């Protein structure tokens, strides 16, 4: 008989390992087939989207404000050079994410400015010397991803973005070296236990921060620290059943945490002011080693990391871009395309770059197909009708509004349940200290 604590331990392991598995599954998918508008690319090469994301982009909470440039990185080949061109006055950010989804470096408008720059990306334990005028960025894990975003005002602006993308490069110093890639889990493991097998294999290949090693070791009774041959194909029925029960409990706990919110609340909005603050160990260029942006409670940190991966994989720290999600209207009822709602921004969010509200379906958090191909509304959306005092009233509905003003300010919703997301790039202090308050969404 399995230990009676196996389900509880497995539920904890699910929350612990979810970001690693979800992230590396996404990178593996990216290598194989691309994501949305970004075509597939091998390790240590950039994939550049050439258009803004649309409903074809089946990636969690993808944005429609920027054009993506994404590079999966594998430093098993040794150091890799990274070059960014002069971006002029355009907002951009290159976000560095390790295997565990830690945001550990930023290059871009806020962090390093818009001048051209050269960087050397190095694996854990590297002790070499970088060329002059080159900034070294230490990766916490051998595998990671650079998620680049270029502000784009629409189709007419795309050629200028393309030129910047084409001048952005990553190049292995040893061009003959072949990336090791992701180690393969045992294919004979039952599909509903494959999550545990991936955590086992990938957590050993890409060790976590030192502070998490003891937690990882505590999962030895369920096989996560077993080296070599997988323990999962040979489990007895009772043990396998206990593991499955624990995985179900972990999934339920993650779902509840997403609905209840792991961030500050404002009129139904869940602000991710600190959702991405679970990285408290790795601070390279562009990050803030600041106690105000660190989740020090270990249980809260692990849960926040899982929620962040599920609801907004590859999302930024709040000081780069503040996100706010909402599921319910002013009366606490689930938002649904069967109703019509308004969101009145008075004033609009105070930012140094730009802001937007993007529509997503649930539970997948994908962009929603609609007859006018509008997936977001923001301060750069042409044709919006503002009040004389600068306030903006956005209509959210599945049915197109009849009133001309409401139609101009219409953010189309799916027929079923939905979850809008507010993005505020380079937020000003009133957003970060919450003296600026997002208003509720009201059913009309």
Q: Which domain holds residue 112?
A: 1-249
Residues 123 and 74 reside in one and the same domain: yes
Residue 235: which CATH number? 2.60.40.1610
Instruction: For residue 428, give Cα distances in angstroms to 114, 201, 255, 319.
Output: 19, 42, 31, 9
Query: Averaged over 170-195, what is the pLDDT?
Result: 97
Domain end call among 198, 219, 249: 249
Sign of CA dihedral 261, 265, 269, 274: negative
Query: What does the pLDDT read at residue 441?
Result: 98
Which pLDDT tens digit goes with each residue over 77-104? 999 999 999 999 999 999 999 999 999 9
Query: What does the pLDDT read at residue 264?
Result: 63
Q: What is the SS3 assignment for 14? A: helix
Q: Identify the bridge partners of residue 94 per DSSP, sorted by sequence position.
A: 107, 148
Q: Identify the bridge partners of residue 66 per DSSP, sorted by sequence position.
A: 151
Residues 281 and 426 reside in one and the same domain: yes
Residue 259, domain member (yes or no): no
Residue 255, domain member (yes or no): no
Query: What does the pLDDT read at residue 271?
Result: 87
Query: How far is Cα 302 from Cα 283, in angstroms, rounded to an integer?
Result: 18
pLDDT at 357 over 90: yes
Query: What does the pLDDT read at residue 4?
Result: 58
Residues 189 and 336 reside in one and the same domain: no
Query: How far is Cα 288 from Cα 273, in angstroms, rounded to an integer?
Result: 14
Nearest one of 411, 375, 413, 362 to 259, comparing CA atoms:
362
Mean pLDDT of the chain: 94
**Residue 263 pLDDT class (50, 70, 90 cuts):** low
User: Taking the model in full, what pTM does it have?
Assistant: 0.89
Residue 257, domain member (yes or no): no
Query: Averaged over 371-396, what is the pLDDT?
Result: 95
Query: Averaged over 56-79, what is the pLDDT?
Result: 90
Which pLDDT tens digit goes with each residue over 127-166? 999 999 999 999 999 999 999 999 998 889 999 999 999 9
Domain end call among 205, 222, 249: 249
Query: How far is Cα 78 from Cα 69, in angstroms, rounded to an integer?
Result: 22
Residue 410, domain member (yes or no): yes
Q: How many CB atoms lie within 10 A of CB 123?
A: 20
Domain end call among 225, 249, 273: 249
Query: How far is Cα 153 from Cα 263, in angstroms, rounded to an integer?
Result: 30
Instruction: Please say whether the beta carbons of 210 and 124 come within 8 A.
Output: no
pLDDT at 398 over 90: yes
Instruction: Please say whether the beta carbons of 315 and 305 come within 8 A.
Output: no
Residues 228 and 279 reside in one and the same domain: no
**Residue 204 pLDDT class (50, 70, 90 cuts):** very high
Residue 376: which CATH number? 2.60.120.600
Number of H helices, E strands in the chain: 8, 19
**Residue 432 pLDDT class (50, 70, 90 cuts):** very high
Residue 52, domain member (yes or no): yes
pLDDT at 58 over 80: no
Query: Averaged over 24-53, what is the pLDDT?
Result: 94
Query: What does the pLDDT read at residue 154?
Result: 85
DSSP H or E segment with residue 287:
none
Query: How far is Cα 97 from Cα 284, in angstroms, rounded to an integer?
Result: 11
Residues 16 and 145 reside in one and the same domain: yes
DSSP H or E segment with residue 34:
none
Residues 285 and 420 reside in one and the same domain: yes
Residues 198 and 291 reside in one and the same domain: no
Query: What does the pLDDT read at residue 54?
Result: 85
Query: What does the pLDDT read at residue 216?
Result: 97
pLDDT at 254 over 80: yes
Residue 335, domain member (yes or no): yes
Residue 392, domain member (yes or no): yes
Residues 73 and 209 reside in one and the same domain: yes
Residue 67, domain member (yes or no): yes
Query: How far is Cα 275 from Cα 261, in angstroms, rounded to an integer?
Result: 10
Residues 198 and 243 reside in one and the same domain: yes
HSE of 442, CA atoms in CB hemisphere, 13 A: 10
Residues 55 and 106 reside in one and the same domain: yes
The count of domains in the chain is 2
**Residue 261 pLDDT class (50, 70, 90 cuts):** low
Query: What does the pLDDT read at residue 63?
Result: 85
Greatest CA span in the chain, whole angstroms? Answer: 71
* Cα-based angle 69, 21, 325 (whole degrees, multiple of 5): 65
Query: Averaged over 218-223, what is the pLDDT?
Result: 96
pLDDT at 1 over 50: no
Query: Averaged over 103-112, what is the pLDDT?
Result: 98
Residues 2 and 139 reside in one and the same domain: yes
Residues 55 and 98 reside in one and the same domain: yes
């Amino acid at each position: 008989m399995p230990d009676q604590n196996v389900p509880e331990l497995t539920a904890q392991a699910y929350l612990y390992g979810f970001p690693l598995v979800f992230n590396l599954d996404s990178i593996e998918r990216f290598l194989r087939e691309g994501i949305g508008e970004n075509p597939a690319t091998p390790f240590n090469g950039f994939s550049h989207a050439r258009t803004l994301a649309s409903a074809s982009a089946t990636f969690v909470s993808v944005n429609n404000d920027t054009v993506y440039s994404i590079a999966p990185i594998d430093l098993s080949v040794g150091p890799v050079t990274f070059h960014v061109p002069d971006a002029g006055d355009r907002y951009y950010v290159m976000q560095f994410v390790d295997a565990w989804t830690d945001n550990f470096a930023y290059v871009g408008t806020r962090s390093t400015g818009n001048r051209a720059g050269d960087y050397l990306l190095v694996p854990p334990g590297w002790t070499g010397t970088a060329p002059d005028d080159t900034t070294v960025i230490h990766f916490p894990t051998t595998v990671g991803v650079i998620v680049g975003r270029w502000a784009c005002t629409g189709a007419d602006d795309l050629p200028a973005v393309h030129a910047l993308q084409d001048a952005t490069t990553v190049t292995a110093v040893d061009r003959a070296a072949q990336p090791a890639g992701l180690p393969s889990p045992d294919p004979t493991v039952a599909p509903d236990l494959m999550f545990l097998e991936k955590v086992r294999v990938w957590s050993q290949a890409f060790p976590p921060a030192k502070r998490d090693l003891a937690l990882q070791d505590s999962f030895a009774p369920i096989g996560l620290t077993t080296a070599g041959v997988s323990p999962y194909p040979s489990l007895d029925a009772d043990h396998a059943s206990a593991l499955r029960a624990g995985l179900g409990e972990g999934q339920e706990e993650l779902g509840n945490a997403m609905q209840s919110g792991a961030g500050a609340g404002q009129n139904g909005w869940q602000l991710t002011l600190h959702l991405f603050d679970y990285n408290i160990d790795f601070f390279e260029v562009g990050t803030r080693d600041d106690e105000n942006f660190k989740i020090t409670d270990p249980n809260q940190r692990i849960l926040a990391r899982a929620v962040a991966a599920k609801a907004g994989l590859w999302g930024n720290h709040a000081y780069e871009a503040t996100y706010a999600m909402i599921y319910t209207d002013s009366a606490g009822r689930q938002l649904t395309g069967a109703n019509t709602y308004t969101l009145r921004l008075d004033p609009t969010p105070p930012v140094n770059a730009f802001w937007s509200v993007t529509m997503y379906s649930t539970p997948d958090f994908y962009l929603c197909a609609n007859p006018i191909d509008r997936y977001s509304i923001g301060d750069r959306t042409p044709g919006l009708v503002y009040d004389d005092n600068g306030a903006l009233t956005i209509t959210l509905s599945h049915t197109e509004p009849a009133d001309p003003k409401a139609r101009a300010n219409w953010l189309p919703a799916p027929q079923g349940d939905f979850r809008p997301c507010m993005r505020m790039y380079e937020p000003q202090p009133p957003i970060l200290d919450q003296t600026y308050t997002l208003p509720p969404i009201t059913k009309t």
